[in-house]
Structure 1
């Protein structure tokens, strides 16, 4: 299939150009128009975004999300590749499940799926899963995700095994004992509201332990969703020691704070919790100075009924993969700059994984997104592709919307009003 996108600007350029893609590759720039022609309407062309941390809920929790809805939502958010987490029912710890998910996703025509597999059997933290077989089946990462790898010896063995396979382990780093039943950040707000708090020390203590395991094994470790300044300081120290450590931060931990919980709305309940404005600002500085490696969303859909429970009973998670780039561009684009922001959501995740960095050069894979950086649109979750049609950003005006997403040379999403 041949596709030509006209009237676009490359990231970092103001010159209007056209790009032609053929057989899943970028054929070239400013060639005679061929095949399907789409007017980019002056938008900015970038490599399609890469998501390293999303919950697509299949198998077993498809009332929350499934591959079709989740990958369609990702494409609408400008993502070409999504790494899905294994905390499904059953857990993704079987090579046959990995293969079946990839096969199903390939037939959908939305974002590309790259499954993460469980580090331990059933994510129970006791015995390692069949990591070599899972890699052979197509798993790209090992993680017990929302569970916290309480047994340091098991995580050590996993790191050693993953190193032999040249694979990354990612961790949800919280000390379960310190976290206890905390439903929000422990601090002034939790005390005023009388809600059980989750202290910053729960995250920092676990990150510190895990850095020592990396030093012991020399294996690659990726720390998910930093939420506190202290965690970032520990990661910075580990990097200065030359340890092969990377980390991510999520838009919700940058844009929202524990003040939102004054509403008692469980929509703002996430794990790790929303922290203070000082923590959020410190993490943003980490993006600017390069000590935070990339941006991920931790897209975590639940049913509306689940999130309408009280804060003590509701599950943790926010689903917003469709508006992640608009949030970041609207809130932080001026400070980060377009090229830096695009890098944090494209090439940077690729570097974490050891994948080739995406480019817009002729011959590169045709995973592309056209971004409308100027038009403000209202966030209307009723129109989300995701099954989770509610969001903390409902009604807000954001810019930076993806209007066209191309995956493997084929249109995976096109915004109707564009």
Structure 2
């Protein structure tokens, strides 16, 4: 048995202070203010105790690109970031477009035993945007949803059929909303900074056009579409309209899009290169407002590890993407500390609502009988995010070797301590 003492338990709808959580095997056996005896005790005084975080958008690069990340290193980065459930995208090599690869990913994660892994399988075979995958077969193998993330489904008829097909199985499509014709050879946000730097720009409309299309296709099919990595003010407004119209759309934002702007690109640092790109201060503020008012449902990291040689090149040739699992907590806590929202909203965005979207009823909430997936957060701990702290194989993040405040100090998965910050 494991006992968490003197807890401030944060759920999306309430806070319980000075309670003790008794964990037996993989379940929460009791939450009480009474004294309990246990062989293993963690004193959580002065810390936040929250449901294990759920990241609906990661890239673990396994199979095929294990030099960047694999399921083991990705799992270690996840639990170091307080994340107990991950959904890796399909752009592996070969692409996760069949049940064999899906099964391999699920079974490898189980062998490692640090997190629950639910693959996001490809919408189309080879992510070519042409022929739909065998969704029913792939779902039986352990996938939970479908996305060609990294590439958009450009053909509207294919996207329509994908939405219809997925909904028949009770699943949904995650949209990488990007019109590649508008994006062209762009590498940063189109605007003042692209003009100053001479780097080719990606207009906000390349995202917004596709979001508008996918919203209308969701309206037509009555299927669920989830919009990945929202980055523009216009996108937030489109999603807000869709929700008012009762269309089945959900959306996510990343910590880097509500923390950074394209002003960072004035130094040509490729660690700020991502897709969708960092946008303007106005866009950043719109995303924060979207998180506050419920237009944007969840926070997801889009954890995208790359080897240093893929970033240490000319800007145009550098890979898109940054790691994010271990910066999720400190960057999101910045919004709490600045008064944008409280810790209950933090839990809603990072755990409760993802569990609801994914229909994972055993997690996302700390209560008697629930799965013992728990993260203990110290919101005041200061540290340098360096080689010792970083658990990913890659360090392509602008926050590497910077001071961060706030971290998961214990991560508990199925009742077992799978990460202890103090044992670096």
Identify the TM-score tier after normalising by the shorter chain.
Answer: over 0.9
Alpha-carbon offset, residue 265 of structure 1: 1.2
Q: Is the Cα contact below 8 Å between 2:305 and 2:396 reproduced in 1?
A: no
Asked if 1:237 is matched to 2:241, the reply is yes
Match of 1:335 among 335, 340, 354: 340
Q: Please provide the CA RMSD for this pair.
A: 1.5
Q: Is the Cα contact below 8 Å between 1:55 and 1:300 reproduced in 2?
A: yes
Q: How is 1:143-154 mapped onto 2 (pairs within 5 angstroms)?
A: 143-154=147-158
Partner of 1:344: 349
Alpha-carbon offset, residue 314 of structure 1: 0.7
Offset from partner CA, 1:372-412 (integer Å, 9 cap, x none): 12222232244311011342123433322100011111111
Partner of 2:59: 55
CA distance in 2, matches of 1:173, 1:382: 36
Asked if 1:203 is matched to 2:207, the reply is yes
Match of 1:388 among 376, 394, 408: 394
Distance 1:178 1:306, change over 3 A: same
Asked if 1:374 is matched to 2:373, the reply is no
- Any idea what SS the aligned residue of 1:376 has? strand
Partner of 1:132: 136
Asked if 1:305 is matched to 2:309, the reply is yes
- Any idea what SS the aligned residue of 2:44 has? strand
CA distance in 2, matches of 1:355, 1:109: 18
Partner of 2:24: 22
Partner of 2:370: 364
- Any idea what SS the aligned residue of 1:315 has? coil
CA distance in 2, matches of 1:262, 1:332: 28
- Any idea what SS the aligned residue of 1:400 has? strand
Q: How is 1:123-202 mapped onto 2 (pairs within 5 angstroms)?
A: 123-202=127-206
- Any idea what SS the aligned residue of 2:119 has? strand
Greater mean alpha carbon deviation, residues 18-27 or residues 45-54: 18-27
Where structure 1 has 5 or more consecutive residues not aligned to the other structure, the ranges are none
CA distance in 2, matches of 1:77, 1:14: 23
Distance 1:41 1:109, change over 3 A: farther
CA distance in 2, matches of 1:24, 1:288: 33
- Any idea what SS the aligned residue of 2:380 has? coil
Asked if 1:405 is matched to 2:388, the reply is no
CA distance in 2, matches of 1:379, 1:25: 32
Q: Is the Cα contact below 8 Å between 2:307 and 2:396 reproduced in 1?
A: no
Partner of 2:7: 8
Q: Is the Cα contact below 8 Å between 2:272 and 2:397 reproduced in 1?
A: no
CA distance in 2, matches of 1:210, 1:390: 31
CA distance in 1, matches of 2:105, 2:381: 36
Offset from partner CA, 1:188-231 (integer Å, 9 cap, x none): 01011111100001001111111111111111000000000001
Alpha-carbon offset, residue 352 of structure 1: 2.2
Q: Is the Cα contact below 8 Å between 1:168 and 1:353 reproduced in 2?
A: no
Distance 1:345 1:415, change over 3 A: same
Where structure 2 has 5 or more consecutive residues not aligned to the other structure, the ranges are none
Alpha-carbon offset, residue 81 of structure 1: 0.2
Q: Is the Cα contact below 8 Å between 1:20 and 1:33 reproduced in 2?
A: no
Offset from partner CA, 1:136-164 (integer Å, 9 cap, x none): 11100111111110111111111110111
- Any idea what SS the aligned residue of 2:47 has? strand
Offset from partner CA, 1:309-360 (integer Å, 9 cap, x none): 1111011000021121111102444321111112100011122223326221
